[in-house]
Structure 1
Amino acid sequence: MTRLLFLVCALLMAFGVSAQTENINKNPFRQLYMELPTPNVYRNAAGAPGHQYWQQKADYVMDVRLDDATQRIYGTSTITYHNNSPDVLDYLWLQLDQNVRALDSDTYKTGTSNMSERMTLGALARLEPTFDGGFKIDYVQSVEGKPMEYTIERTMMRVELAQPLKPGEKVQLKLKWWYNINNRLTDGGGRSGSEYFEKDDNFLYTIAQFYPRMALYIDNEGWQNKQFLGSGEFTLTFGDYDVKITVPTDHLVAATGTLQNPNTVLTKQQRDRLEMAKKEFVQPVIIASQEEAVEREKTKLTKEQTWHFKAENVRDFAFASSRKFIWDAMAVKQEDGSTTMAMSMYPKEGNPLWERFSTKAVAHTLKWYSHYTFAYPYPVAWSINAADIGMEYPMICFNFGRVEEDGTYSDRTKYGMIGVIIHEVGHNYFPMIVNSDERQWTWMDEGLNTFLQYLTEQQWERNYPSRRGPADKIVDYMKGDKAFISPIMTNSESIWQFGNNAYGKPATALNILRETIMGREQFDYAFKQYANRWKFKHPAPADLFRTMEDASAIDLDWFWRGWFFTTDHTDIALSKVTPFRVNSRNPEKENALAKQRQAEGPRNISDIRNEEIAQTYDEQDPSLKDFYTDYDPLKATVLDQEEYQSYLKGLSEAERAVLDADKYYYELTFENLGGLVMPIILEFTFADGTTEVQKIPAEIWRRDYKKVSKVFPFAKEVTAIELDPFLETADTDRSNNYYPSQSEETRFELFQSRQRGAGENPMQRDRRAKEKEGSNR
């Protein structure tokens, strides 16, 4: 018996310990020690670079030729690689990102596909690659011209070193290559390539990833040689660039860096206009007009000339070239007193939209991103009009946005274009300067940039129709099927719903941090600390997480865990409201209230129907009546008053104050149905019509993250309560956010077999309406 009792006790103790351990392991307020890397001499516990932080450097001297007749790039480069690490390197890794378009690319092989009973020829053609993309490497040599052994592994190339590269040493290698330029519209899209304009038989080139680039070697990753499959973008080493680009003589070229030979490649008129633009801070100056661009479209010169650019301390280089380009520019005064040139190039197919908005959007972006981070450090910021998606590189970005043939455009086109320019120019800050690992963590540049894009859009125009940022815009994603939702902390190539995961959710999380968790002042201070600590360096997620806490004294581990490491969503229910009043023990007051409640309270059906009884027995026979027949237990007596006065004399001053206040007390019970702990924001409406907002920090859930209660005292009676009244927490089900409960109306749209003005944009419809009004006069 004793042994059996011992076993039972042991099992109960084990169950209790197991349950306690499970509760601790699931507690969203446990610290992030297990998830974050251990601080060290390279990255400290405050989220800043450590006292032995280091990073590599790669300098490039390149000669590149764009063959407009064959749509090819030919290039040679000399790379000087500086080993600033404490490690000895036996080999170097280079990125060959163009190989993502090779006929044997893993991107094609790993892409899923299916067949149906009805297939188009275009769909069948896309089942196998036809474009012969990818780098063709002619040689890899030492600077002395000796062949270097190399191995190409899909989108990466390992170069063997004749001698190990010791700390503090540098090595030079020379490369020669070429590749076919993909058509951005017909060869599977892409971040760069060519666009063909059939009407005037011309090309517009936006060229990037056009040279073998040094992979990043870093303290927390070693070589970042994860293969490029198309989603995870680029992680690169800072360095200096000296690049010569040979193109047809009638082309205009925009590129990373500063033009070194304007007297050779620009006309005197263009140079004079550019000097004017350097003094203009309000309106862009046209450097090359639309009329001039149209004339160049007709010439199609085959003679070539070379544009020479230099850039210092950049992580990449890109350029654009076309005879179709219109060019405008204006100066931007930075907060530190420096001046940057905001410039745009675009074909006539972008006008009047681009001439009116592009360069001003560039200038606006530099102003507000600098406000939230640091002064823009480069001499120029370009916006280039291109087909398809937007894409960013140091000092230059490619952005969509075209008008209809009649010059009109929809509001979606306008705001989409302005938004993408803000976003892509903003990428100069993240990740071109705050150089995070895009191959591993897309959200560290896209999410942070989308957040700042939202802030900048709202400074552009009141009620700007931003797609992402506010909490309510992420609700549909957060409440979706979890089988197709990834945690933010998921590698770029493995993400479900790329846009929502890497752009929308982290941007929303940062906006919630700023508006609801930390407050604008604390958030802005901490975020600026992060940006300045890591500009021209290589931060990791832990560096952001730790800096935001270090600079604010706010424990955010629960927030990072919930929003970045899980797929939980916010659904906090106001499940119960129980009102209370203090019993004053004043017999006259309390008895009167009791009588009122009895009179006004609900009556059961039997009592109501019993009124039909003609005569009760004691009404028939009065002798049945006694003291209790007419006794009123709620009648206050002299003895009741004496007992009440004695009770008052025994109260302390503090207790008497509570009694005299005679407040209304409401016990509110909240349930965490979505799993994501968040602050509880409540708006109380009182009987006199006034309102009051109370905010309870998320730490209220720290001991029980599933269900909590809290009592709220008020001097006035509460008639209504709303949870999350300002849509701050991305609550996915607002039907349980009200007291008294209420349902939110859903509007449905009636089906119309024919819609008026189908295919028209608002500008065209307005034009047609005005023409009709004129004809009716």
Structure 2
Amino acid sequence: MLLVRFTILVVALCSARIAGAQSYWQQEVNYSIDVSLNDKQHSLEGFERMEYINHSPDTLRFIWIHLWPNAYKNDRTAFTDQQLQNGNTAFYFSGSDDKGYINKLNFKVDNETAETVDHPNYIDIVQLVLPSPLLPGKKIVITTPFHVQLPYNFSRGGHIGESYQATQWYPKPAVYDRQGWHPMPYLDQGEFYSEFGSFEVRVTVPENYVVAATGELQDDAEKNWLRTRSSFDWKPEKIKIKTKAGSYKTTYQQYPSSAVKTKTLTFKESRIHDFAWFADKRFIVDMDTCRLPSGKLVDVASYYLPEEKSQWQHSVAYAKTAVRNRSRWIGEYPYKNVSVVQGPKGYGAGMEYPTITLIPPAESEIALDKVIEHEIGHNWFYGILGSNERQYPWMDEGLNSYYENRHSQLKYPAGDAKFGNTSYHSKDMATLFVNTVVALKKDQPINTPSDSLSEINYALMAYLKTADWLSYLEAKYGRDKLDNAIQAYYEQWKFRHPQPADLKESISKSLGVPQDSLFSYLDKTGPLPNSIPGGTRVVFTSPRSIANYISSPVKNLISIGPAIGTNKYDNIALGLFFTNYKFPPSPLQFFVAPMYSTGIKKLAGTGLVNYSFHPDNGAFRKIRIGVSASAFGINEFKDSGKTTSLSFHKIVPSVRFVLTEKNPKSTMNRYIQFKTFMISEDALQFYNDTTIVGTDTSVASKYRVINNNRTLNQLMLVWENNRALYPYRGELKIEQGTDFVRAGFTGNYFFNYAKGGGLDLRLFAGKFFYTSSKTFSKQIQTDRYHLNMTGANGREDYTYSDYFAGRNAFEGTASQQIMVRDGAFKVRTDLLADKIGKTDNWLAAINLSSSIPSSINPLSLLPIKIPLKFFLDIGTYADAWKRNSNEDRFLYDAGLQIPLLNETVNIYIPLLYSSVYKDYINSTIADKKFWKKISFSIDISHFSLRKINRNLALE
């Protein structure tokens, strides 16, 4: 019995020792790939040999294989879904010639044919079923031919013309680690996780192509030829080429004839987990060496296009600085070479691969320097420290961004960006954006997977807030201690797959203090400690003051600046504005702009005060209460050389409840809003003045200005989906005033066109109710509130919510302004006592507006881009359906629309319309009929920053 117990104890101790030794392990994959480029078909033919070594303690019966070119196969992939969710429809509407795929696969394992099983959800993943189980410590050889049809470069890889970006192009096993398998579909937002190993890749291309690739080029003759490219000065012919949208533009010729001969280039590298290569006939190549702090020499190369020579002339120097600084701050660069490659015009953001990175054309040399530094930095955070970028993007992007910030502060101490002529650090602007999203409670925790982050939070949390988090650690312990901790982490985990717990353990050990509190911020929303400085500052707004605020923000900022306004009656209104609007926003916000009207010779202006709550939980994510006020001129009366000006004043208290969306990535916006409009308007009251002189009596008509007060209550329910594909909006508005209730529903739906633009569909249905018996006097008193088919004028803007150049003008250009309201017709019948299509009953209309392709848009011949649309309005109303009515039951108009300033200003040219409108125009307009029937709208009340960028409308 004693011997048995002793044996069990020995076995247990040995097992514990073995388990301890195997507490960390990682798989190994070594590649040998032959690939050839067909630049006529934009395709690759390849053969791959993978040596897969099972270092895990588990027996494997299958291996998940990534076939990421299939992400571009159709519009039903995870990549496509995410592109649409992030507002990008380019791939969804691309033609078959622009799509891509991988096929002609024939997997064999140790020369035995192996079966593959499709992934249940993703077409770019398959399961390779092993003919025999792969035991721990054993290896297999997997081979397969493959054919890749390269897509147009919608995301990181593919081709633009005959410029090739071969990335994520070969079959690649998913990672198997301590958490199990990690099969993942290709995504644009969300990067990669791959096994370390060695690569030997032979690339065959036409001989006139320059190839830049991961690893070390093995061909001395090719190296010598590349050195001659530094003086390459090819001046291409300008021709018209087809763009991905199907239109044509004049550009530099990208397609000189392909060489008949080919060349095969061999690249090798070890201790890496990915391989990318790029080919272009036009590349200029600059080469140099970089001496690291240890004395090690690294070859540095830069590949760029001739037209970018002036901006890229220092690119090698930028790369050398990046490699030296990162080696000093984090740990020595382990490879023999590093390369930067300019991506073609139209390529998106920079993207990193081991020893090489693709850089988009930059707006300035400083911007180029920063992107090169950032992307080269990924050789450490992604390349050498191979964390799971899909699951923990902050371990790659965020840590890397921290060192990018250090680079910028070191190299550009005065700032790396400018507002006007004043410099500031872009890092400070980034922090303001982070704190803005935090203040609005729309942030997500840093430690959120890439594909679960909203588009804006992917940038702000994974990159920028993580960098601020590391800066907080630096401020707390000092830069030297932080550097020592990161260097220890690097030495321990280089060429491995660290997890967040590993980073935490390493930093805690280096600092000698458990970092539970620091790392807890990764799983929280809300601000980091000391992220919003205190204090108050009052500034007169200028580019300098804005730049200074970015560099040194305060909790309370009051800005002062000039205010100017104009309309027909106020002429020019001048004054000052006072506001505390800023980034990040304060709960209490105000904007006040008192002005002096040079037209009506008295004070005018506008202002508002809002207070916002952001509940942590519940049905509403935001509650905003506030009050706004304004006063401007609305009319004038001229009599015997005397001009009497009339104006309005309004005060509008309001409350808005914005509903919570469960999914942080949701594009839905729903809210309930209540307003009360308390309006005071000037009006003229005419009366007779009798004068008696002796026996003579005279009666003169005189007038005086009186003040009319009215109140309107408005309840509005809005639900909108701002998705990129087929966005829609619904608005139910119920308004109540003296003796009436006005109800209307407006629905908008947008149908995207494949080649850009689309069809706007608008539906309106409304009903006007009298709350007491209907009388002739009530009809007159409520006239401006009646439902209107034809273009509503300034007087019918009964809430004074839109800007009108001449609100009550009846002649001249100002009189041709309309509101898009109710029936939203574009013709006007203001000169009639009863406007055509106006009713105090019910009204319904359909409005269509379609973009016109630039190929048939005559305005495209102008030096500036001006879009053109076609509109069609069809409507009906109650009066036309009355018994014995002689009116047309259905009215219509159609014509051309010129949208300007993101459709804030629209010009309408009616060309076809119902006979009743034709009769009105012929009988009422004496001359210049064509010009006078043109109308325009200025839709400021519905302007949204979302029209400029979908991520700007954070509320």
TM-score normalised according to structure 2 size: 0.50
- The one-character-per-residue Cα deviations of 1:674-717 (angstroms, maximum 9, x if unpaired) are xx55599999xxxxxxxxxxxxxxxxxxxxxxxxxxxxxxxxxx
- The one-character-per-residue Cα deviations of 1:714-768 (angstroms, maximum 9, x if unpaired) are xxxxxxxxxxxx999x998613xxxxxxxx3325577899xxxx99xxxxxxxxx
Aligned counterpart in structure 2 of residue 460 of structure 1, from 390, 404, 411: 411
2:307 alignment counterpart: 349
Matched, 1:191 2:12: no
Aligned counterpart in structure 2 of residue 140 of structure 1, from 100, 107, 112: 107
Query: How far has the Cα of 1:178 moved from its partner?
Result: 1.6
Query: How far has the Cα of 1:126 moved from its partner?
Result: 4.3
Q: Is the 8 A contact 1:451 1:469 kept in 2?
A: no
Aligned counterpart in structure 2 of residue 734 of structure 1, from 547, 555, 559: 555
Query: How far has the Cα of 1:80 moved from its partner?
Result: 0.5
1:439 alignment counterpart: 390
Taking structure 1 as reference, are residues 561 and 471 closer, same or farther at Cα in structure 2, changes over 3 Å only? farther
Q: Is the 8 A contact 2:485 2:510 kept in 1?
A: yes
Query: How far has the Cα of 1:57 moved from its partner?
Result: 0.6
- Counterparts of residues 747-762 of structure 1 (less than 5 Å): 748=561
- The one-character-per-residue Cα deviations of 1:262-289 (angstroms, maximum 9, x if unpaired) are 23x45x5x37x4xxxxxxxxxxxx6442
Matched residues in 1 for 2:461 and 2:497: separation?
22
- The one-character-per-residue Cα deviations of 1:44-89 (angstroms, maximum 9, x if unpaired) are 9xxxxx7742111101110111111111122110111000111111
Query: How far has the Cα of 1:461 moved from its partner?
Result: 3.1
Q: In structure 2, the residue corresponding to 1:374 is in which secondary structure?
A: coil
Q: Is the 8 A contact 2:200 2:266 kept in 1?
A: yes
- Counterparts of residues 643-682 of structure 1 (less than 5 Å): 677-678=529-530
Q: In structure 2, the residue corresponding to 1:431 is in which secondary structure?
A: coil
Q: Is the 8 A contact 1:361 1:421 kept in 2?
A: yes
Q: In structure 2, the residue corresponding to 1:545 is in which secondary structure?
A: helix
**Matched letter for residue 452 of structure 2:** S
Aligned counterpart in structure 2 of residue 371 of structure 1, from 325, 328, 331: 328
Matched residues in 2 for 1:206 and 1:527: separation?
33
Aligned counterpart in structure 1 of residue 265 of structure 2, from 302, 307, 312: 307
Matched, 1:554 2:480: no
- The one-character-per-residue Cα deviations of 1:346-400 (angstroms, maximum 9, x if unpaired) are 111211111x221111101000000111111111111000032110000110001
2:247 alignment counterpart: none
**Matched letter for residue 59 of structure 1:** N
- The one-character-per-residue Cα deviations of 1:630-659 (angstroms, maximum 9, x if unpaired) are xxxxxxxxxxxxxxxxxxxxxxxxxxxxxx
Matched, 1:290 2:232: yes
Q: In structure 2, the residue corresponding to 1:344 is in which secondary structure?
A: strand
Matched, 1:204 2:157: no
Matched residues in 2 for 1:179 and 1:51: separation?
39
Taking structure 1 as reference, are residues 238 and 748 closer, same or farther at Cα in structure 2, changes over 3 Å only? farther
Matched, 1:158 2:158: no
- Counterparts of residues 607-756 of structure 1 (less than 5 Å): 677-678=529-530, 734-735=555-556, 744-746=557-559, 748=561
Matched residues in 2 for 1:482 and 1:163: separation?
56
Q: Is the 8 A contact 1:294 1:324 kept in 2?
A: no
Residues 543-552 or 129-138, more deviating: 129-138
Query: How far has the Cα of 1:304 moved from its partner?
Result: 1.4
Query: How far has the Cα of 1:548 moved from its partner?
Result: 1.6
Aligned counterpart in structure 2 of residue 90 of structure 1, from 26, 45, 61: 61
Q: Is the 8 A contact 1:254 1:321 kept in 2?
A: yes
**Matched letter for residue 378 of structure 2:** H
Q: Is the 8 A contact 2:443 2:526 kept in 1?
A: no
Q: Identity rate of aligned residues, in percent?
A: 26
Matched, 1:485 2:443: yes
Q: Is the 8 A contact 1:331 1:342 kept in 2?
A: yes
2:42 alignment counterpart: 71
Q: Is the 8 A contact 1:239 1:315 kept in 2?
A: yes
Taking structure 1 as reference, are residues 91 and 732 closer, same or farther at Cα in structure 2, changes over 3 Å only? farther
Matched, 1:388 2:343: no
Query: How far has the Cα of 1:292 moved from its partner?
Result: 5.8
- The one-character-per-residue Cα deviations of 1:327-355 (angstroms, maximum 9, x if unpaired) are 0111011222221011111111211111x
Query: How far has the Cα of 1:239 moved from its partner?
Result: 0.6
Matched residues in 1 for 2:19 and 2:562: separation?
55
Q: Is the 8 A contact 2:302 2:340 kept in 1?
A: yes
Aligned counterpart in structure 1 of residue 73 of structure 2, from 102, 117, 124: 102
- The one-character-per-residue Cα deviations of 1:559-584 (angstroms, maximum 9, x if unpaired) are 3223x111112xxxxxxxxxxxxxxx
2:480 alignment counterpart: 521
Taking structure 1 as reference, are residues 750 and 190 closer, same or farther at Cα in structure 2, changes over 3 Å only? farther
Q: Is the 8 A contact 2:533 2:553 kept in 1?
A: no
Q: In structure 2, the residue corresponding to 1:100 is in which secondary structure?
A: helix
Taking structure 1 as reference, are residues 543 and 311 closer, same or farther at Cα in structure 2, changes over 3 Å only? same
Matched residues in 2 for 1:111 and 1:508: separation?
28
**Matched letter for residue 101 of structure 1:** Y
**Matched letter for residue 414 of structure 1:** E
Q: In structure 2, the residue corresponding to 1:745 is in which secondary structure?
A: strand
Q: Is the 8 A contact 1:293 1:325 kept in 2?
A: no
Matched residues in 2 for 1:43 and 1:420: separation?
44
**Matched letter for residue 322 of structure 2:** T
Structure with a larger share of its residues in strand: 2
Taking structure 1 as reference, are residues 114 and 485 closer, same or farther at Cα in structure 2, changes over 3 Å only? closer
Matched residues in 2 for 1:110 and 1:306: separation?
37
1:259 alignment counterpart: 217
Matched, 1:231 2:189: yes
Taking structure 1 as reference, are residues 536 and 68 closer, same or farther at Cα in structure 2, changes over 3 Å only? same
Query: How far has the Cα of 1:484 moved from its partner?
Result: 3.2
Matched, 1:173 2:138: no
- Report the aligned-residue RMSD: 3.5
Matched residues in 2 for 1:455 and 1:125: separation?
37
**Matched letter for residue 176 of structure 1:** P
Q: In structure 2, the residue corresponding to 1:479 is in which secondary structure?
A: helix
Q: In structure 1, the residue corresponding to 2:400 is in which secondary structure?
A: helix
Query: How far has the Cα of 1:414 moved from its partner?
Result: 2.2
**Matched letter for residue 142 of structure 1:** V
Taking structure 1 as reference, are residues 531 and 89 closer, same or farther at Cα in structure 2, changes over 3 Å only? same
Matched residues in 2 for 1:527 and 1:204: separation?
38
1:427 alignment counterpart: 378
1:81 alignment counterpart: 52
Taking structure 1 as reference, are residues 212 and 524 closer, same or farther at Cα in structure 2, changes over 3 Å only? same
Unpaired runs of at least 5, structure 1: 1-39, 45-49, 116-121, 197-202, 274-285, 403-411, 570-675, 684-725, 736-743, 760-777
Query: How far has the Cα of 1:123 moved from its partner?
Result: 6.5
Unpaired runs of at least 5, structure 2: 1-15, 238-253, 418-423, 536-547, 567-862, 865-955
2:497 alignment counterpart: 538
Taking structure 1 as reference, are residues 531 and 486 closer, same or farther at Cα in structure 2, changes over 3 Å only? same
Aligned pair count?
A: 510
Matched residues in 1 for 2:62 and 2:561: separation?
63
Q: Which fold has the larger relative contact order, with Cα–Cα distance below 8 Å and residues 6 or more apart in sequence?
A: 1
2:915 alignment counterpart: none
Matched residues in 2 for 1:381 and 1:155: separation?
30
Q: In structure 2, the residue corresponding to 1:489 is in which secondary structure?
A: coil
Taking structure 1 as reference, are residues 747 and 321 closer, same or farther at Cα in structure 2, changes over 3 Å only? farther
Matched residues in 2 for 1:445 and 1:462: separation?
25
Q: Is the 8 A contact 2:99 2:150 kept in 1?
A: no
Matched residues in 1 for 2:206 and 2:255: separation?
12
**Matched letter for residue 408 of structure 2:** E
